[in-house]
Amino acid sequence: MEHFLIALDDTAGSLKSIHYINRILSGVRHVHLTLFHVLDTVSPNLLKRDEVTRIERVHEELPHLSGYFWATESEEKMRQTFQQAKLLLLEGGFLEDQVKTHFSVQSAEVAQVILNEAKALNCSTIVMGRRGLGRVKEFFLGSVSNTVTKFAREMTVWVVDD
């Protein structure tokens, strides 16, 4: 079974990857799709006490996130994006058990977190959009998709142009 990690953010452009997958892989039963997002970390001092408590409970279930905190609004926004993406995939012919969701926090550069998760989940392919920084900024700063493409080993990277 092929395992795809689909890196998403909360922009409308990131759903273009979902539409592309529907065009290319719709109805293929030997694939597993993981919708993935990297949440920005924040200081726990900036969060409400109930948010800190909730995240600490998540740390118990997901020890690899221990010590990292993120904004609840960002997580909720991504859960909505995941829900929308999953609905599009189901409408595109994928089965419920073929699509999972997963997030991590920015413990390193975003590209490195994506690569680490793809490896940990034993993914054969990473699918992501190319964010439009503009040619000059992209030349000087690079981009997440460029970095993932450059450092991916023993896997395929699909960069869907938005």
Provide the pLDDT for residue 66: 79
Q: What does the DSSP assignment read for 87-121? A: HHHHHTT--GGGEEEEEEE-SS-HHHHHHHHHHHT
- Residue 9 is inside which H or E element, if any? none
The residues that bridge with 34 in the sheet, in sequence order, are 5, 100
Domains of the chain with bracketed CATH: 2-39+73-161 (3.40.50.620)
Provide the pLDDT for residue 137: 42
Q: Can you give the pLDDT of all 162 residues of the chain as single tens digits?
A: 799 999 998 777 788 999 999 999 988 899 999 999 998 888 888 888 888 888 888 888 877 777 878 787 888 889 999 999 999 999 999 999 999 999 888 877 889 999 999 999 999 999 998 764 445 444 434 588 888 989 999 999 999 875
Provide the pLDDT for residue 143: 81
b/e map 58-95, b = 16+ CB within 10 Å:
eeeeeeebeebbbbbebbeebeebbeebbebbeeeebe
Provide the pLDDT for residue 56: 86
